[in-house]
Amino acid sequence: MRDDFTRFEMEYRWAVQEILTKVSILREEFLQLHRYNPIEHVNSRVKSPASILGKAARRGVPPSLPAIRKHITDIAGVRITCSFRADTYRVLETLTSQDDVRLIQVKDYIAEPKPNGYKSLHAIVEIPVFLSTGPVPVIVELQLRTIAMDFWASLEHKIFYKYDREVPGHLRDDLKQAADAAEQLDLRMEQLHHEVHGVHGRSDLPVGPDIDNDLLERLWQLSLDTRPETG
């Protein structure tokens, strides 16, 4: 079982490497040929065996590798942070149009944010990992978001665990308002980008509202409140 699980985990790590290679090639192409790079930075992870088995238990998935492979789709994850909202869709479309990437599911939390204000573009894809015994299809979760969305999600994550998942109501309200402020910032920055580099922007963007300075101040204060304590 240990050897099987080791091989199982390695397949997901290799699948992440395949995705990262594709993203690296795209970044180079965008930069060299189009003189514009929509990808700011990329992170990846593969869940540990304990985390995988724990999630399987919580979901009632049998502790067998075939069942886990079938029912848990976020064992391997790649997060791509883009400059603007339009870039998230553009990068996802470019990746999933490749012949060896099969798009299984998309959840667009940018168009339809979660109730707490979370925004991101999620996609479940399948990519082959070529081993000595032949190709193995492996599922990878992609998350694409803007810098503002990524900042908000990181902040929300810190608050969520600081309060052991029981976030006080007033902080939930502040987080929702902070998400609104991040959206305003995204709209305004994409507008400015379109004005300066129209060829790379979108002409159909809505007119962004004025940035609410009070909300931005609250967003900044929340980030300070969740800093690690010292002393």
| Residues with catalytic function | 141
DSSP 109: T
At residue 183's C-alpha, the angle toward residues 222 and 82, to 5°, is 95
What is the spatial distance between Cα 129 and Cα 231, in angstroms, rounded to a whole number?
48
Question: Is residue 63 a contact partner of residue 1, using CB atoms and an 8 Å limit?
Answer: no
Number of H helices, E strands in the chain: 7, 5
**β-pairing, 102-108 with 121-131?**
antiparallel
Provide the CB-side half-sphere exposure for 143 (13 A, CA).
21
